[in-house]
């Protein structure tokens, strides 16, 4: 039994697999370093936008930073890891053009069409957080609705009106907004 194992091990060791594994590990390590370096640049580039909420409480700051930093970093990681996986598959001689690209394109198109409204609201919510247009506790007017902001999510904003009703407004509809809180109580300098 041990002879069969050693023969199998020798056949594997002398094949192309160890070289392929080493190249795959090298590609994975290089992409991991690339992700780290790009994320560091993104943190540095977004630092002035994140400094706008220095006077907000720590929970609100953490939630805002999770969105303002998290989404670009997630997108960067997704693109780079996908490229790394495709390169590693190519190293192992998996021909992905004929099999993978059409399926991935179809999934992206169908997903984009199906989630168009949710994506629009999420993008608008990202820029509400990025620009720090209003914060929880601010009194704002959006369209016909006026109230105190009770929650700001990625896809919607919740207002509490003076008669204690809660209104949920999709962030894609937050266009003409008036912040009635008065002078900014937050630091707007970068």
Q: Would you give the end-to-end CA distance of the chain in angstroms?
A: 70
Better-scored residue on pLDDT, 104 or 164: 164
Residue 142 has pLDDT above 70, yes or no: yes
Domains for the chain: give ranges and CATH numbers.
2-114 (no CATH), 135-179 (2.30.30.60)
- pLDDT tens-digit readout, 1-47: 678 777 776 776 667 777 888 888 999 999 999 999 999 999 999 99
Q: Order of strands across the sheet with 139-142? A: 166-170, 156-160, 145-152, 139-142, 177-179
Q: Lowest-confidence range among 24-28, 45-49, 132-136, 184-188?
A: 184-188
Res 99: pLDDT:
67
- Model pTM? 0.67
- pLDDT tens-digit readout, 167-182: 999 999 988 888 888 6
**Residue whose structure tokens are 């993008």:** 123
Res 183: pLDDT:
53
Res 182: pLDDT:
61
Q: Lowest-confidence range among 98-107, 111-120, 132-141?
A: 98-107
Res 5: pLDDT:
73
Res 45: pLDDT:
93
What's the mean pLDDT when you consider all of the chain? 84
Better-scored residue on pLDDT, 132 or 94: 132
Q: In the numeric block, which tokens belong to residue 5?
A: 């194992």
Residue 117 has pLDDT above 80, yes or no: yes
Res 170: pLDDT:
93
Res 58: pLDDT:
84
Q: Where are the beta strands (DSSP E) in the chain?
A: 139-142, 145-152, 156-160, 166-170, 177-179
Residue 82 C-alpha from the chain's centroid? 15
Res 40: pLDDT:
95
């Amino acid at each position: 039994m041990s002879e069969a194992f050693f023969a199998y091990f020798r056949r594997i060791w002398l094949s192309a697999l160890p070289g392929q594994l080493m190249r795959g590990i090298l590609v994975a390590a290089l992409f991991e370093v690339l992700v780290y370096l790009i994320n560091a640049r993104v943190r540095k580039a977004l630092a002035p936008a994140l400094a706008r909420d220095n006077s907000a409480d720590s929970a609100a700051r953490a939630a805002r930073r999770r969105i303002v930093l998290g989404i670009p970093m997630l997108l960067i990681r997704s693109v780079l890891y996908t490229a790394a996986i495709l390169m590693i598959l190519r190293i192992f001689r998996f021909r992905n053009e004929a099999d993978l690209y059409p399926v991935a394109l179809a999934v992206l198109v169908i997903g984009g069409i199906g989630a168009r409204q949710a994506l629009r609201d999420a993008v608008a919510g990202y820029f509400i957080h990025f620009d720090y247009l209003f914060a929880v506790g601010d009194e704002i007017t959006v369209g016909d609705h006026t109230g105190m902001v009770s929650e700001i999510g990625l896809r919607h904003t919740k207002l509490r009106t003076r008669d204690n009703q809660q209104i949920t407004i999709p962030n894609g509809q937050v266009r003409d907004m008036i912040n009635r809180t008065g002078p900014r109580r937050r630091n707007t300098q970068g």
